[in-house]
Structure formats: structure tokens, C-alpha cells
Amino acid sequence: QQQVKQSPQSLIVQKGGISIINCAYENTAFDYFPWYQQFPGKGPALLIAIRPDVSEKKEGRFTISFNKSAKQFSLHIMDSQPGDSATYFCAASMVYNFNKFYFGSGTKLNVKP
């Protein structure tokens, strides 16, 4: 079964709106949670990542919110732009055993102008 569950599968947002993508995990040993952005025909690229010692991390318009007790984390894209249209993947790994990453199923974001 998938170790990281991601929703929604697809998302349509108007330009300037907030895009929110959610992920949940079961394995409490996970302690590194990155988000990847993938444009069509390209490989994924790291967007932002968080460790569980903080509840929020912000980089520009992108924010990760982390809820350790609920075993959930989410990506918020503020002031969404058409250039943000891409597929987003959450992932989880363990810093002490960093050889394996577990990815969510992906969210296809379409930001309408």
C-alpha cells in the first residue's frame, strides 16, 4: 500500500488564489517531508521541504504546514500564477535511512489566468 497518500488528484485555481494540496502518512519514523514540482516532459525538482521539529516552513509564495499529531502535511501556494501549473508530489523519508523516498500519487494543478 502507498506509504504517503496525497489529495486531491487534480486542482483548478484562479490566478491569484490559494492552492492547497494535502498529504498524510502512517509511518511515524518518517522525519523528512519534501515537495517536488514537475512540469510536463521534465523530471521532478525539489520545491520545499520540512523536518518535523517545525510546524511551518515558508519560501516565497510556497508554505508547508506540518501537523505531527495528525500525521499530515500540506503545501499552500499563495497568489497562484499560471506558471505554477504543474504536477506536485509530496514525499517522505527517514533521515537515518535516507536511501528510500516514498512519494504520493501526485496532484495536477491548473492555474487559470
Rounded Cα gap, residues 99 and 55, in angstroms = 25
17 in contact with another protein (CB under 8 A): no
* Structure letter (DSSP) for residue 32: B
DSSP 2-19: -SEEEE-SEEEEETTS-E
Q: Which residues pair with 35 in a beta bridge?
A: 48, 90
CB of 23 to another protein, least distance (A): 10
By C-beta, is 17 or 101 nearer to another protein? 101
Span 40-99, contacts to another protein by CB under 8 A: 41-46, 49, 89, 91, 95, 98-99
Question: Quick one: which of 7, 27, 55, 105 contacts another protein (CB under 8 A)?
Answer: 105
